[in-house]
Chains A and B, each alone.
Chain A
Amino acid sequence: GENVEQHPSTLSVQEGDSAVIKCTYSDSASNYFPWYKQELGKRPQLIIDIRSNVGEKKDQRIAVTLNKTAKHFSLHITETQPEDSAVYFCAAKRDSWGKFQFGAGTQVVVTP
């Protein structure tokens, strides 16, 4: 079945620096790749997503890149701020109706 691996498990960055989180997936039929942010005690919330017909997508300080050949995708956060501190999860899904498989998460800590 689908397996999603996420690295690193923890990431500490200085405010203003960039953060990069990488995920790999096993199911080559996956075609939708969202990223969720979960603050402590809160629900996961979608921050950006990408579909397999696109290689890169940007939204202000966050961007996601997808390499379908290598089956990996990455989240990039530029000019990090303390409010970016949270756990970030990547996920992969096969089709419009299938289940989402999540990575184990990355704890991002942005220090002032």
Chain B
Amino acid sequence: GAGVSQSPRYKVAKRGQDVALRCDPISGHVSLFWYQQALGQGPEFLTYFQNEAQLDKSGLPSDRFFAERPEGSVSTLKIQRTQQEDSAVYLCASSPNTGELFFGEGSRLTVL
């Protein structure tokens, strides 16, 4: 595809449910990032992959959050036992080795 694709665009979950958010990066982009963006705030770093290796997961807020990129392309962010404070837009971005980030449209998660 032409850009970074994320699905679902919108997800409503009941508190305690597990959710999985998918990111399809731009083909050939080595780096992939996940960010969490609360309403009116800047993107907050969650985790970063270089190919299939997860090089930095220091931003994951708890052990309920898990990300993977098993073949170095598509990535999934999984949130277990969702809480209301998990409500946010989850942005995925990919990057070639130039440094520029290309963002997806985001997945808006609402936890009731």
Min Cβ gap A75→B in Å is 14
Give chain A's interface secondary structure class. Answer: strand
Binding site for A on B (CB under 8 A): 4, 31, 33, 35, 40-45, 48, 50, 55-56, 58-59, 91, 97-106
Q: Please, which residue of chain B has its CB at the minimum distance from the CB of A9?
A: B40
- Report which of B41, B56, B59 forms a contact with A104, defined as CB distance below 8 A: B41
Q: Please, which residue of chain A has its CB at the minimum distance from the CB of B106?
A: A43
- The reply to whether A101 and B45 form a contact with Cβ atoms under 8 Å apart is yes
Distance A93 CA – B35 CA, assembled complex (angstroms): 15
- The reply to whether B43 and A89 form a contact with Cβ atoms under 8 Å apart is yes
- The reply to whether A89 and B48 form a contact with Cβ atoms under 8 Å apart is no
- The reply to whether A105 and B55 form a contact with Cβ atoms under 8 Å apart is no
**Interface range on chain A (Cβ under 8 Å from partner):** 20 to 34
Which residues of the other chain, A, contact B103 by a CB distance below 8 angstroms? Answer: 36, 43-45
Distance A98 CA – B59 CA, assembled complex (angstroms): 13
* A-B residue pairs in contact (CB < 8 Å), sample of 16: A34-B99, A34-B101, A36-B103, A42-B105, A43-B4, A46-B100, A46-B101, A89-B42, A96-B99, A99-B33, A99-B45, A99-B48, A100-B33, A102-B35, A105-B41, A105-B42
Min Cβ gap B72→A in Å is 14
A33-60 contact mask (Cβ, 8 Å, vs B): 1 or 0: 0101000001111100100000000000
- Report which of B58, B101, B102, B106 forms a contact with A100, defined as CB distance below 8 A: B101
Given A44-B91, A96-B99: A102 and B43 interface contact (C-beta under 8 Å): yes
Min Cβ gap A36→B in Å is 8
Which residues of the other chain, B, contact A96 by a CB distance below 8 angstroms? Answer: 97-99
Which residues of the other chain, A, contact B97 by a CB distance below 8 angstroms? Answer: 96-97
Distance A105 CA – B105 CA, assembled complex (angstroms): 18
Min Cβ gap A87→B in Å is 9
A74-110 contact mask (Cβ, 8 Å, vs B): 1 or 0: 0000000000000001010100111111111100000
Distance A42 CA – B3 CA, assembled complex (angstroms): 13
